[in-house]
Amino acid sequence: MLGLSMSLSVGAAVVTVVSSKSPVLALSKSQIADIFLGRSYRYPDGAPATPIDQPEASSLREQFYNTVAGETLALVKAHWSKIIFTGRGQPPKIVGSGAELKKLLAANPLAIGYIDSADVDASVRVVDSR
Amino acid sequence: MFSVAGFGTLGAVHSSEHDADFTPSFFKPDGAGYTNDWSMAPDSLAALQATAVFTPRLSAVVQVLAQQNYNDTFWPHVEWADVKYQFTPEFGIRAGRTVVPTFLVSEARNVGYTYQWLRPPVEVYGLDPNTSNDGLDASYRLQTGKVLQTLELVFGSRNQEVAHAGQVKAEQRWIVSDTLEYGALTLHVAFQKTTLAVPYLAGLFDAFRAFGTQGNALADEYDPQRKRATILSLGALYDPGRWFVTAEGGRSNLDSVFGRNSGWFASGGYRFTKFTPYLTYGVASTNGLSDAGLGTAGLPPAVAAEAMALNDTLDTLLSTKRVQNTVSAGIRWDFMKNADFKLQVDHTRIDAGSTGALLNIQPGFTLGARYTLIGAAVDFVF
């Protein structure tokens, strides 16, 4: 039973990805959270990072922020409201789907996003450190 | 790229104290209690913000905000209007009207959706109700390992109408602030120094000066004419997601009849998915609530009566400094996307000799009163 529920949750996992041409190999949860929540503008090697979000209503988005930051989408919205309403910055650009994200990553090696692990292919690299 | 966003709070609050008004800011002329049994004025506001990104480095922001003004109108005013040049992703300078980063939630103080309380605790946030500055603002972000710091230096001035007190001028204002983030921990420290002029009391202190050396000494001590004002604050937040604890303390020295004031609070809550109950305890204290004033010995009766009237006025002013503590309990309900509903009850005990954070004090008011506030609000962002 336990094995089954574990494999189920792994099957539906959200993974953080960059272009396979990106020099970034692995990032910790907190490094990923910092980039997506506007706390960090760069990868650990100093290159500027461009985070890409999934649509506000997507369950993938909910799962992603829950996993990397332990935050609900309402908390993430509250966090960005703080930044937006002082003119300090704007939240990540949003793409419509995993396929669209992969296209964008292929065009921009500095971009970083998240997709369903089932959508991973050779064009992207999963950077979540285990 | 051009974008428009907005936020607002629609709130109503009731006070059990009918001989004075409760409102969280001295920019507002009245509130709940004496003027209205239930009042929407203390907590309600609405704002629209336009952001223009001209190039990756150059952007501009204008935010227009409507809330109860000093003269009881709700005409909107320009809350921010600045042009930002981002030299590097870490270093930027803004010119125009920008935020005053005095406290931990100062930046988003008007955006109720970003915090759990119905309103930031008055014991600390009442020390500096200013939200904007006209001038320059330099911001630098520094990442050292997992520690992220945001250093800010603000310089400028701001003239604002305060309810029942005319125009107040804050000039040569300097603020240094540092926000440190490490995982779930945020620390904030800020120091502000400004030259403050509150002209509406000039007549009173001129009358004191007519009493010679003694009157001059009192006027020099208390007249808020171009006096140096400082505020130091230190705040901390630990928020791993499911729950949070936060505490903040501040100390202001207005070097005048408004005195040295300090306050602190501690607050915590737990998030049950959509419901966040929280508790807050806040304390505000000050130096002297009264002064012996002018000596009347040996004065002709008419002059002595005038001196006594001046002493009474001074004592009344001194007693408006806030010495109180408040226990608050509330709940935030994230009932729909981009909106929340909050319910908060505050019980305030004012110390003897003080009017606490209340205004429009009526003859029937007892110094050192206790009162309860019941408030409800809907916050939204779009």
Residues of A in contact with B340 (CB under 8 A): 74
| Chain B residue with minimum CA distance to A34 | B183
| Mean pLDDT score, B306-315 | 93
Nearest CB to B113; choose among A69, A71, A81: A81
Question: Cβ of A116: how many Cβ atoms within 10 Å?
Answer: 17
The CA-atom distances, in angstroms, between B73 and each of B67, B77, B375 are 8, 11, 22
- Measured between CA atoms, how close is A98 to chain B, in angstroms? 23
Parallel, antiparallel or unpaired: strands B370-381 and B185-197: unpaired
Residues of A in contact with B94 (CB under 8 A): 87
pLDDT in tens, B20-78: 999 999 899 999 999 999 999 999 999 999 999 999 899 999 999 999 999 999 999 99
pLDDT in tens, A70-80: 888 999 999 99
pLDDT in tens, A104-121: 999 999 999 999 999 999
| pLDDT for A7 beyond 60 | no
B377, B26 contact by CB (below 8 A): no
| pLDDT for B165 beyond 90 | no
What pLDDT does A130 receive? 66
- Measured between CA atoms, how close is A122 to chain B, in angstroms? 31
The CA-atom distances, in angstroms, between A68 and each of A14, A16, A19, A24, A128 are 10, 9, 19, 17, 9
- Measured between CA atoms, how close is A48 to chain B, in angstroms? 8
Cα–Cα distance, B19 to B31 (Å, whole number): 12
What pLDDT does B154 receive? 97
| Mean pLDDT score, B325-342 | 97
Place of tokens 């040049």: B85
Percent of chain B with pLDDT over 70: 100
pTM for the full predicted model: 0.90
- Measured between CA atoms, how close is A42 to chain B, in angstroms? 9
Parallel, antiparallel or unpaired: strands A93-94 and A50-53: parallel
| pLDDT for A90 beyond 80 | yes
pLDDT in tens, B342-359: 999 999 999 998 999 999
Residues of A in contact with B149 (CB under 8 A): none
What pLDDT does A10 receive? 47
Residues on A contacting B at a C-beta cutoff of 8 Å: 30, 34, 39-42, 48, 56, 69-72, 74-75, 77-79, 81-82, 84-88, 90
Highest mean pLDDT among B47-51, B144-148, B222-226: B47-51
Percent of chain B with pLDDT over 90: 83
| pLDDT for B166 beyond 80 | yes
Contact A74 B241 (CB under 8 A): no
What pLDDT does A107 receive? 93
Cα A108 to chain centroid, rounded = 15
Residue B154 belongs to what H/E stretch?
Answer: strand B147-162
The CA-atom distances, in angstroms, between B86 and each of B60, B95, B136 are 11, 12, 13
Count Cβ atoms within 10 A of the Cβ of residue A50 and give its class: 0-12 exposed, 13-18 middle, 19 or more buried. middle
| pLDDT for B17 beyond 60 | yes
Chosen from B2, B54, B111, B274 to mutate, greatest number of chain A CBs within 10 A: B111
What pLDDT does B289 receive? 84
What pLDDT does B71 receive? 93
Size of interface A-B (CB pairs under 8 A): 80
- Measured between CA atoms, how close is B107 to chain A, in angstroms? 6
Contact A87 B51 (CB under 8 A): yes
Nearest CB to B114; choose among A48, A81, A87: A81
Contact B7 A87 (CB under 8 A): no
What pLDDT does A12 receive? 65
**Cβ density class B352-378: b for 16+ within 10 Å, e for less:** eebbbbbbbbeeebeebbebebebbbb
Residues of B in contact with A48 (CB under 8 A): 89
Per-residue pLDDT band for B273 (boundaries 50, 70, 90) equals: confident
What pLDDT does A4 receive? 42
Provide the 3-class DSSP secondary structure of residue B75: coil
Contact A85 B115 (CB under 8 A): no
Contact B108 A70 (CB under 8 A): no
Contact A81 B148 (CB under 8 A): no
Per-residue pLDDT band for B287 (boundaries 50, 70, 90) equals: confident
Residues on B contacting A at a C-beta cutoff of 8 Å: 3, 5, 7, 47, 49, 51, 53, 59, 61, 63, 80, 82, 84, 89-90, 94, 98-99, 107-108, 110-111, 113-115, 139, 141, 143, 146, 148, 181, 183, 240-242, 271, 273-274, 334, 337-338, 340, 381
If we measure between CA atoms, which residue out of B188, B36, B169 comes closest to residue B124? B188
| pLDDT for B136 beyond 90 | yes
Average pLDDT, chain B: 94
pLDDT in tens, A32-47: 999 999 988 899 988 9
Provide the 3-class DSSP secondary structure of residue B368: coil
pLDDT in tens, A10-68: 446 899 999 999 999 999 998 999 999 998 889 998 899 999 999 988 999 999 999 99
